[in-house]
Amino acid sequence: MHLVIGLGPIGGNIGAHLAQLGQEVYGYDFNAERVREWSDETQSPAGSDLAALDWPSIDSVHVAVRLADQVKLLNNALATYNLAATARMLTLAEHLGTPAKGLFDVIAVSTGQSWMSDNLVDVQYDLLLEDVGLLRSEIGALPAGGLDDDVEQAILQARALLGID
């Protein structure tokens, strides 16, 4: 069976062509409506849960370029959120009278630590900001990164999406 990851114009057409040739194809996409439409059109199974696949039956995997690009942009946007949060907390610490360097040293060995905080000085943030701009141009506004009342709900929703209760 062929696994097609990303059912947009590129991956959807590749999968549809394989199905027309009589090949077994499974379509995967994050977008539930796209999954439904593609499955109806091709009469092939599709879904959004890679864990539900019978992996031994998969002979080939086709990854649509756009989906791979979106994953890269999403990952780099997350990295930028982490970088910006670290920078803002260091600035806030200094404003509150706590030396930024002291907080930075604490972050390095505690729960606030991340790859971005470890590499704050050397990271090429201009490339991250470029990817954030590309993602914004593709999808519009990005989620707010504040610590408002929606933080707990966002955490619980992400855990549910990952199948973690």
Q: Which amino acid is at 8?
A: G
- What's 132's domain CATH number? 1.10.1040.10
123, 116 in Cβ contact below 8 A?
yes
Q: Are strands 2-5 and 46-47 parallel, antiparallel or unpaired?
A: unpaired
Residue 66: pLDDT band with limits 50, 70, 90: low
Pick 139 or 4 by higher pLDDT.
4
pLDDT of 135 above 80: yes
DSSP state of 30: S
Q: If you average pLDDT over residues 72-95, what whole number do you get?
A: 92
* Nearest to 104, CA basis, from 123, 79, 113, 146: 113
| End position of a domain, from candidates 17, 33, 63 | 63
Average pLDDT of the chain, as a whole number? 89
128, 115 in Cβ contact below 8 A?
no
Task: Supply the pTM of this predicted model.
Answer: 0.59
* DSSP secondary structure of 93-138: HHHTTS-HHHHHHHHTTSTT--HHHHTTTT--HHHHHHHHHHHHHH
Residue 67: pLDDT band with limits 50, 70, 90: low
Q: Are strands 60-63 and 2-5 parallel, antiparallel or unpaired?
A: parallel
Residue ranges making up the domain that contains 18: 2-63
- Domain count of the chain? 2
Q: Are strands 2-5 and 25-28 parallel, antiparallel or unpaired?
A: parallel
* Same-domain check for residues 32 and 97: no
pLDDT of 165 above 80: no
Sorted by sequence, the CB contacts under 8 Å of residue 68 that are 6+ apart come out as: 6
* Same-domain check for residues 78 and 156: yes
How many angstroms separate the CA atoms of 153 and 78, rounded? 18
Residue range 19-61, pLDDT digits in tens: 999 999 999 998 899 999 999 999 999 999 988 899 999 999 9
42, 93 in Cβ contact below 8 A?
no
Q: Token digits for 150?
A: 């929606």
* Same-domain check for residues 34 and 21: yes
